[in-house]
Structure 1
Amino acid sequence: MGLPSINIAGKLVEDSAFAVGRSMFISKQSIPPKKLKLTQERKVLDILQKLSMAEALMTNSLVRLNRSYRTSIEKILVKLLHEGLIKNVCVATEHTIFKLWISADGKLPRNAQEACRLAILGIFFSLAKKEIPNFQWRVIRSNKSPILGEMTFEGKNGSEKWVIDVPRRGEKPQEKAHLYIFPTLEEAIIQSPNGKKFTSDIILIKDSSKPLKERIFEYNN
């Protein structure tokens, strides 16, 4: 089975697994096993801190942030789930099924489409936190607009603040954003407002050898 693809403006390109959310399921907390012990306390607390800051992260994003083996992170997440310290949401898209980990007191996504937004915001968060000086992050929630990200950081001319929009396929870009993350680069080039920065799911996920700043573009019509 080949990689998923889509026709964008007459061009067949690799599609993002997070372009369209279809359904989601909130996992019920299971009964914790007897004599459960959470070892690696520093790593456990770091995972909880990252989830609190980002609000929702996939396993791969936590692996990247903690520079640890996936099996080690997965074991800790399962134990934290048993302890009731985190929640788990399973999301189905057109191409895959993925899990989002959320702190126990965090807000759940309203639907699968919003879960896809959180997944991509989490990927961006995991990259930016490692590379950007004085990085701060928050998720913006509003009944009038889709969920957005906001990062504050130290730029060339002092402190900067960017609003980050992650339009999923068929959604209209939010005018107040500074950076847009579309499923594919082709969609980003076509739909990004003139003079705004943009990138794509595919570039964030696959171009791991490049610094984040080299994966962000600006197109002037």
Structure 2
Amino acid sequence: MRDSPFAYFDDVAPGPLKEARGQILNLSPRALAALELLRASGAALTTTMLARYLGCKKPALQRNMYALQRAGLAYRLDCLKEGRYVRVWLASTVPLPGPGEAARLAALGLLFLRLRREQPGMIWEMLPRQAVRMTINNTRLVDPVRRGEKPGEKADLLLFPTLDEARRYTPEGKLYTTDTMLLSDDSQIIFKQTGR
């Protein structure tokens, strides 16, 4: 894979935003599972990522996502990058992000689903400026560095769009991973560390 679809977004356009009004909802177990993932991550997730994680077909999950949108529990965000759209979903509790924030949230969503599948005991806490504190064996501060941004000094793990960017911009002693590595079908997540 040459570039990450989440490296940056030029613009964002939200779908219909509805408010949940305490009505009784008849949602499928799959819709509830997707909602739980949206809320637990606090990030932006694509239908493809969710379908792969939940082990179902994309069209079936798409219907569930629209049911969540109609219920006011989630909303979609169409993100424009180089004339193409990337559609992501967010829990209704997440404020509407701008293009830069949406790219960071999508990268975090990708990392969240890969870690959740491979590290079931992981603790994930969303922080301001679309950063995350995650705990697997120890606690790490994750910064999803998007194209043109500088890595946060306090971050322990940097999430870059591509391997080339990670190698070029990761400070010594820091861990890094990339969108392209997370999107690959490798069975394990790869965290690399720069030399000390």
- How far residue 52 of structure 1 moved from its aligned partner, in angstroms, is 0.6
Give the whole-Å Cα distance in 1 for the aligned partners of 2:88 and 2:3: 20
Give the whole-Å Cα distance in 1 for the aligned partners of 2:83 and 2:156: 29
Q: Match for residue 9 of structure 1?
A: none
Secondary structure, in 3 states, of the residue corresponding to 1:174? coil
1:25-174 pair list within 5 angstroms = 25-29=13-17, 38=26, 41-55=28-42, 56-94=44-82, 96-109=84-97, 111-141=98-128, 146-153=129-136, 155=137, 160-174=138-152
Structure 1 length as normaliser, TM-score? 0.79
Q: Does structure 1 retain, via aligned residues, the 8 Å contact 2:161–2:179?
A: yes
> Can you list the C-alpha shifts for 1:65-99, whole angstroms capped at 9, x where unaligned?
21211111111001111222211111112363111
- The alignment yields a C-alpha RMSD, in angstroms, of 1.9
Q: Does structure 1 retain, via aligned residues, the 8 Å contact 2:142–2:159?
A: yes
- How far residue 122 of structure 1 moved from its aligned partner, in angstroms, is 0.2
Q: Match for residue 22 of structure 2?
A: none
Of 198, 204, 208 in structure 1, the residue corresponding to residue 182 of structure 2 is 204
- How far residue 182 of structure 1 moved from its aligned partner, in angstroms, is 1.0
1:167-186 pair list within 5 angstroms = 167-186=145-164
Q: Write the letter of the residue equivalent to 1:209.
A: D
Secondary structure, in 3 states, of the residue corresponding to 1:203? helix
Q: Does structure 2 retain, via aligned residues, the 8 Å contact 1:38–1:79?
A: no
Q: 1:174 to 1:24 in 2, by over 3 A?
A: same
Q: Does structure 1 retain, via aligned residues, the 8 Å contact 2:5–2:86?
A: no
Q: 1:174 to 1:49 in 2, by over 3 A?
A: same
Secondary structure, in 3 states, of the residue corresponding to 2:16? coil
Q: Give the unaligned 5+ runs of structure 2.
A: 19-24
Q: Does structure 2 retain, via aligned residues, the 8 Å contact 1:20–1:94?
A: no
